[in-house]
Amino acid sequence: MEKVEIEPIIIKESFINILDKTEENINCRIDIIVEHFQFKDIQQFTISEKENEQFNPFILKWFKNAVFILEEIIFPVLDFKDLQNREFSFSEEADIDGSIYVSSAHVPVLLPKIKFGKLENQFIEAELNIIIEFSYRFECEDISLNLTTKLKIE
């Protein structure tokens, strides 16, 4: 399998909002819009044989305004202020629905860990450890990224 390298990611905007709330927890969605998303040194980045689609590998080398979407993240808190200075880990079996679209192909994204910092003026600092499962759709390795951002609370 080919190794995928990604240039540093510049985050344009990021948001967190509540999808649902119970007496014990909040169910959230996080959207992270990146300025650009660029792959380095990809010689052959083709869709696996199990998929019967064709696409232009050049498209995969660079694109703008990619969006990481992470839904159904259950936090055992009642309010965003309770996320401050806390860290949460999730197993692969967690029902988090994470994705990014690469050349119109859905690529799953896992969220093993998220660490929150200070909440101030409707923004909360966050460091997300994510795994992009390229091997789900393409003949290349998955990659792990740490994204640091301030999530705007909506």
- The predicted structure's pLDDT at residue 106: 80
Establish how many alpha carbons lie within 13 A of residue 23's alpha carbon, considering only the half-sphere containing its beta carbon: 0
Q: How far is CA 24 from CA 43, 48, 78, in A?
A: 49, 42, 6
The two tokens of residue 105 are 């192909």
- The predicted structure's pLDDT at residue 24: 93
Closest to 90 (Cα-Cα) out of 127, 126, 118, 130: 130
pTM: 0.78
Give dist(CA 141, CA 128) in Å, integer: 20
In tens, the pLDDT along 18-48 reads 999 999 999 999 988 876 666 554 444 444 4
Band (pLDDT 50/70/90 cuts) for residue 77 is very high
Give dist(CA 92, CA 148) in Å, integer: 21
Neighbours of 100 (CB within 10 A): 21
Closest to 32 (Cα-Cα) out of 114, 94, 140: 114
Query: Above 60 in pLDDT, residue 63?
Result: no
Q: Where are the domains of the chain?
A: 5-153
Give dist(CA 32, CA 128) in Å, integer: 10
Query: Above 90 in pLDDT, residue 86?
Result: yes
Give dist(CA 93, CA 87) in Å, integer: 18
- The predicted structure's pLDDT at residue 48: 45
What separation, in Å, do the N-terminal and C-terminal C-alpha atoms of the chain show? 40
- The predicted structure's pLDDT at residue 68: 84
In tens, the pLDDT along 127-144 reads 999 998 878 877 778 888
